[in-house]
């Protein structure tokens, strides 16, 4: 189980990722993200969720997919399942989360799924 300090660390990573992807974010929304960043209370999480959903609507497909991934990661954080592989329930390596804070799978499952995907697409030479 991830402790509160670790969770806060990854939450900040996720929020800075969010700001990076939301380049045409308005001043007001940017401030809302900063407030959420400073305050881990539930009410600010809800406000954050509004901001994220509004953002997702304004962004293009690629960015909004990223925003949706970040939103999901924050939701898993609230549910206490952040950092746990959704396929095998094993904790995801923290170095992996550092590199990809929205990761839903551990490295083993990710690799397995890529193999499966490759098989579905047919053998490549
Ligand atoms: Zn797994």
Q: How far is CA 125 from the centre of its chain?
A: 34
For residues 66 and 88, is the Cβ–Cβ distance under 8 A?
Answer: no
pLDDT given at position 108: 96
Cα 39 to middle of ligand 1, angstroms: 31
Cα 96 to middle of ligand 1, angstroms: 12
pLDDT given at position 10: 95
pLDDT given at position 84: 97
Q: What is the DSSP code string of 64-118?
A: HHHHHHHHHHHHHHHHT-TTB-TTT-PBPPHHHHHH-TT--S-HHHHHHHHHHHH
pLDDT in tens, 84-95: 999 999 999 999
Residue in this structure with the two tokens 């969770």, named with its chain if needed = 7
Cα 90 to middle of ligand 1, angstroms: 6
Give domain 4-120's CATH superfamily. DksA, coiled-coil domain (1.20.120.910)
Picking from 19, 57, 20, 60, the residue whose alpha carbon sits closest to that of residue 36 is: 19
Domain ranges of the chain: 4-120
Angle of helix 4-21 versus helix 61-79 axis, rounded to 10: 170
Cα 91 to middle of ligand 1, angstroms: 8
For residue 124, with 0-12 CB atoms within 10 Å meaning exposed, 13-18 middle and 19 or more buried, which class applies?
Answer: exposed
Cα 55 to middle of ligand 1, angstroms: 30
Cα 107 to middle of ligand 1, angstroms: 7
pLDDT given at position 124: 56
pLDDT in tens, 66-83: 888 999 999 999 899 999
Cα 49 to middle of ligand 1, angstroms: 27
Which parts of the chain sit beneath pLDDT 70? 1, 23-44, 120-125
pLDDT given at position 89: 97
């Amino acid at each position: 189980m991830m402790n509160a300090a670790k969770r806060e660390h990854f939450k900040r990573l996720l929020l800075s990722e969010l700001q990076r992807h939301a380049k045409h974010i308005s001043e007001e929304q940017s401030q809302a993200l900063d407030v959420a960043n400073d305050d881990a209370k539930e009410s600010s999480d809800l406000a954050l969720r509004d901001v994220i959903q509004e953002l997702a609507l304004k962004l293009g497909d690629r960015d909004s997919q990223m925003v949706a991934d970040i939103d999901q990661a924050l939701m898993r954080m609230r549910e206490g399942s952040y950092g746990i592989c959704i396929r095998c329930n094993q904790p995801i390596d923290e170095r992996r989360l550092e590199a990809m804070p929205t990761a839903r799978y551990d490295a083993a499952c990710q690799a397995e799924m890529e193999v499966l995907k490759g098989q579905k697409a047919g053998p490549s030479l």
